[in-house]
């Protein structure tokens, strides 16, 4: 038996554990798409206030990514994962007093805490995907984990909607009574208590699991000079910006679709994120099949950007009274009729799916010993998820309304197209 074969066989159980953690990461992340419109109706929030729910979650990446890396160097990857789960458990418990007191600030604090735990868990678990199996099949493992993460985005809104079924109030109600608000608030208590218990059990399971510990990285005094060298690489820094605007449009498409559905009177608006994430899973599968057999990474990225821009225009100028797409694809098979504009938002998942895996190799190309610091900078691009919905919320309060606010995505896709065509080729600033 070769070393590669032995390593492949011994990594089966760790891969199963890591796969579960990636699913949990996806579940916690994409649950926001259901929680945001639910809280908007329950607490009578404006679109801007509702966008703060996402802002609180994603801004944690900006503040805790580098401290998370430092903490992992101190306690190790395995303990870092367990600690990340424990922090997420604490956040799950925070939602309970937030619901009982119906205090928006407490919900935002819970979002910030769960975002912090998620950042620590993600920082610790990602290296395992590459390190615990043969290097020759690392790309396959990364793709599988990505599909698991997005599949959790399909499942989370469905589970949330099923658990909240008895707490929903008809969207035709413009102003809820206190009794209706109390019913919606109390409906959150048991699900989040159950989530906290599950996360606590999983944290203990990870702590005492057979996961091998990875070697911890050490850094010398050259860190500052390496950072300066990385900042001098246009292809990398433009890649960071490309990921920032990409995560912005990804989160807008996945997590504001429920809010828009609520404004259109869709009864089960909390399930809408599943439509966007379903399209993303399809996009991941197409990417695995087509790249690089039929499409280069650059071509796939450019096509994604153009499709995203066209869908953005279709959303903004679409007719909310037209149900042609749903009537053609879903209604004949027992699905529900949804406005075309909502279907266009869902289809953004297809346009967005390939962007993340396409930008990474283009941004890291030729970095050599700057690869690790380049990866850390690219991870910071996730902060776009905090600001994209915030700008969407700001525009929603203007004369554009929620539908017109989706125009905020147009310059984002324009920049992604620029990066695909020219930005990734730049090797020095002029």
Tokens of 231: 């900042």
Distance, CA of 311 to CA of 330 (rounded, Å): 19
Q: Residue 381 phi/psi, 5° resolution?
A: -60, -20
Tokens of 55: 């802002």
Specify the residue for token string 């990866």.
375
Specify the residue for token string 């418990």.
93
How far is C-alpha 287 from the chain's CA centre?
A: 18
Give the DSSP letter string of 81-102: HHHHHHHHHHHHHHHHHHHHHT
User: 36-82, pLDDT tens digit by residue?
Assistant: 999 999 999 998 999 999 999 999 877 887 788 788 878 888 898 99
pLDDT exceeds cutoff 60 at 370:
yes
pLDDT for the residue numbered 369: 73
Distance, CA of 402 to CA of 194 (rounded, Å): 34
Tokens of 43: 């607490």
Q: Virtual CA dihedral for 249, 251, 255, 260, nearest 10 degrees? A: -10
Residue 62's Cβ-count burial label (10 Å; 0-12, 13-18, 19+) is middle
Of 336, 322, 360, 429, residue with least CA distance to 130: 360
- Rg of the chain on CA atoms, in Å: 21
Question: With bands split at pLDDT 50, 70 and 90, how would you rate the model's confidence at 87?
Answer: very high
pLDDT for the residue numbered 3: 46
DSSP code of residue 218: -
Residue 312 neighbours by CB distance under 10 Å: 25
Distance, CA of 396 to CA of 6 (rounded, Å): 56
DSSP code of residue 165: G
pTM, whole model, 2 decimals? 0.83
pLDDT exceeds cutoff 70 at 217:
no
Q: Virtual CA dihedral for 403, 404, 409, 415, nearest 10 degrees? A: 160
Specify the residue for token string 């991941």.
284
Question: With bands split at pLDDT 50, 70 and 90, how would you rate the model's confidence at 406?
Answer: very high
Tokens of 366: 């030729």
pLDDT exceeds cutoff 50 at 281:
yes
Distance, CA of 117 to CA of 27 (rounded, Å): 13
Mind listing the domains of the chain with CATH numbers? 10-211 (1.20.1250.20), 224-425 (1.20.1250.20)
Residue 311 neighbours by CB distance under 10 Å: 25
Of 248, 283, 274, 403, residue with least CA distance to 339: 403
Tokens of 3: 């070393």
Specify the residue for token string 């690089």.
292
ω before 292 within 30° of 0 (cis)?
Answer: yes
Residues 6 or more apart whose CB falls under 8 angstroms from that of 72 comprise: 80, 120, 123, 124, 216
Q: Within the chain, how many helices (H) and strands (E) appear?
A: 20, 0
pLDDT for the residue numbered 330: 82
Find out whether 342 and 329 touch, Cβ atoms under 8 Å. no
Mean pLDDT of the chain: 86
Distance, CA of 109 to CA of 214 (rounded, Å): 32
User: 285-328, pLDDT tens digit by residue?
Assistant: 888 888 778 888 889 899 999 999 999 999 999 999 999 998 89
Distance, CA of 220 to CA of 224 (rounded, Å): 10
Mean pLDDT across 114-141: 75
Find out whether 230 and 372 touch, Cβ atoms under 8 Å. no
Find out whether 415 and 242 touch, Cβ atoms under 8 Å. yes
Distance, CA of 401 to CA of 316 (rounded, Å): 10
Find out whether 119 and 60 touch, Cβ atoms under 8 Å. yes
pLDDT exceeds cutoff 80 at 214:
no
DSSP code of residue 209: S
Tokens of 291: 């790249």
| Least confident among 237-241, 255-259, 353-357 | 353-357
């Amino acid at each position: 038996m070769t070393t590669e074969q032995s390593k492949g066989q011994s990594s089966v159980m760790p891969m199963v554990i890591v796969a579960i953690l990636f699913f949990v990461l996806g579940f916690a992340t994409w649950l926001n798409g259901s929680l945001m419109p639910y809280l908007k109706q329950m607490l009578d929030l404006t679109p801007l206030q509702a966008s703060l729910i996402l802002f609180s979650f994603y801004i944690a990446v900006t503040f805790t990514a580098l401290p998370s890396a430092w903490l992992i160097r101190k306690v190790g990857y395995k303990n870092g994962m367990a600690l990340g789960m424990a922090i997420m458990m604490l956040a799950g418990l925070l939602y309970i007093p937030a619901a009982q007191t119906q205090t928006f600030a407490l919900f935002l604090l819970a979002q910030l805490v769960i975002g912090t735990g998620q950042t620590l868990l993600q920082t610790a678990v990602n290296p395992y995907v590459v390190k615990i199996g043969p290097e020759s099949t690392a790309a396959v493992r990364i793709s599988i984990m990505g599909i698991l993460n997005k599949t959790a985005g399909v499942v989370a809104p469905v589970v949330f909607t099923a658990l909240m079924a008895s707490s929903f109030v008809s969207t035709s109600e413009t102003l809820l009574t206190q009794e209706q608000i109390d019913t919606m608030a109390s409906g959150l208590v048991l699900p989040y208590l159950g989530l906290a218990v599950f996360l606590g059990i999983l944290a203990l399971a990870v702590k005492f699991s057979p996961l091998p510990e990875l070697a911890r990285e050490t850094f010398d005094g050259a860190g500052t000079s390496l950072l300066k060298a990385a900042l001098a690489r246009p292809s990398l820094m433009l890649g960071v910006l490309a990921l920032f605007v990409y995560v912005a449009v990804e989160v807008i498409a996945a997590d504001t679709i429920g809010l828009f559905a609520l404004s259109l009177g869709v009864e089960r608006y909390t399930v809408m994120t599943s439509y966007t994430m379903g399209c993303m899973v399809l996009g991941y599968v197409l990417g695995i099949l087509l790249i690089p057999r039929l499409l280069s990474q650059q071509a796939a990225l450019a096509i994604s950007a153009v499709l995203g821009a066209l869908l953005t225009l279709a959303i903004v100028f679409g007719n909310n009274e037209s149900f042609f797409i749903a009537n053609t694809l879903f209604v004949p098979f027992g699905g529900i009729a949804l406005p075309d504009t909502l279907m266009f938002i869902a289809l953004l998942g297809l346009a967005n799916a390939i962007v993340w895996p396409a930008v990474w190799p283009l941004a890291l190309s030729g970095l050599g010993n700057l690869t690790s610091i380049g990866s850390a900078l690219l991870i910071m691009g996730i902060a776009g998820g905090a600001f994209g919905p915030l700008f969407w919320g700001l525009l929603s309060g203007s004369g554009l309304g929620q539908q017109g606010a989706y125009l905020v995505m147009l310059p984002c896709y324009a920049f992604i197209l620029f990066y695909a065509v020219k930005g990734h080729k730049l090797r020095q600033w002029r």
